Amino acid sequence: MPKIVLLESDTVTTGDINLQDISVLKDAVILNSTDVSLLIKNHQDVEILLINKYKITKTELDQLPNLKMIQVLATGYDNVDLNACKERGIKVFNVSGYSTHSVAQHVFALILAITNKVHYHWQMSRDGIWSNEPKFCFYAPSMMELRNKQMGIIGMGNIGNTVAEIAHAYGMDVCSYTRSPENIKYPWIESVALLDLVEKSDIISLHVPLTEDTSQMVDEGFLSNMKSSGILINTARGGLIDEDALYNSLNKKEIKAAGLDVLQVEPPEQDHPLLSLNNCIVTSHMAWATLDARLQLLGTANNIISDYLAGKEQNYSLV
């Protein structure tokens, strides 16, 4: 059995998954995020490496001479230098599709947290505010019903289409901006230009990868064209948004609210400006991490590595 090392194990389990139940990990070296420096220090003879966001560049590869395979425990693999791996004959694999439903679900968790203010009303009940009301009900002003509202989705991969399905179930009208309109699954999704989507949408949800073209696509101009009642949701990549521009727009109430699961730098500094705003909900890059999604992620990775060890043809290697 080749030497296998799993880095950042604490990103795929909080103790709710026993990694020893994953067959390829039974004899593996398991390291947490705080211990990744031990890879180069103590495990230079690793042959199969499992990572999440750990950066693999030529520097790391030069110090891992026995490395034959990298399994990325995520869909995105921009943290791996694929060209350097190809030069060294190192196979690289990712896992796609495992978090589609989890991320789509979190999109609406953020939307409903903004529109229905469930946590706020729960806290008002716990704090006795409701108990002291002269009337039978207590509610925050201007809660919004989703039915007949316009949902704008930027990017129509699996997650974008699943978000569209949920929006449609709520009775929302759905439009999309995508460079691959052939990926739109449903005839009731209207394909529009980006500016049209920004101007007409009540809620905008981002579902594109971070590239040179999409970096900070949500800038001052984008935000200025949104409705003043508009809501921005980002569960994709933090780099899609100019965070200074978003802070200014939210702080001046130029748009209603934002729900973010990702930021440019993660984890953020405690004094990150967006964390100070009452109209910006920020969660900790956890939309993908339901138990179901993580079990699927590890199960697929286990199958990929098992096939590799069995010498089966791997047409889905990234290099």
Which residues are identified as catalytic? Answer: 237, 266, 285
Average pLDDT rounded to a whole number, residues 119-148: 95
Question: Which of the four pLDDT bands, split at 50, 70 and 90, describes residue 255?
Answer: very high
Question: Which of the four pLDDT bands, split at 50, 70 and 90, describes residue 141?
Answer: confident
The pLDDT of residue 294 is 98
Cα distance between residue 114 and residue 282, in whole Å? 11
Q: Tell me the DSSP string of 212-264.
A: TTTTT-B-HHHHHTS-TT-EEEE-S-GGGB-HHHHHHHHHTTSSSEEEES--S
The pLDDT of residue 313 is 74
What class has domain 100-282? alpha beta
Specify whether the CB–CB gap between 260 and 273 falls below 8 A. no
The pLDDT of residue 314 is 76
The pLDDT of residue 138 is 94
The 10s digit of each residue's pLDDT in 163-196 is 999 999 999 999 999 999 999 999 999 999 999 9
**At the fourth CATH level, which superfamily is domain 4-98+291-309?**
NAD(P)-binding Rossmann-like Domain (3.40.50.720)
The pLDDT of residue 258 is 98
Average pLDDT rounded to a whole number, residues 6-32: 96
Average pLDDT rounded to a whole number, residues 125-139: 96
Share of the chain above pLDDT 70, in %: 100
Q: Where are the domains of the chain?
A: 4-98+291-309, 100-282
The 10s digit of each residue's pLDDT in 260-316 is 999 999 999 999 999 999 999 999 999 999 999 999 999 999 999 999 999 997 788
Instruction: With a cut of 90, say whether residue 1 has pLDDT above it.
Output: no
100-282 shares the fold of 4-98+291-309: yes
What are the C-alpha distances in Å from 80 to residues 41, 53, 94, 117, 236?
20, 9, 11, 40, 18
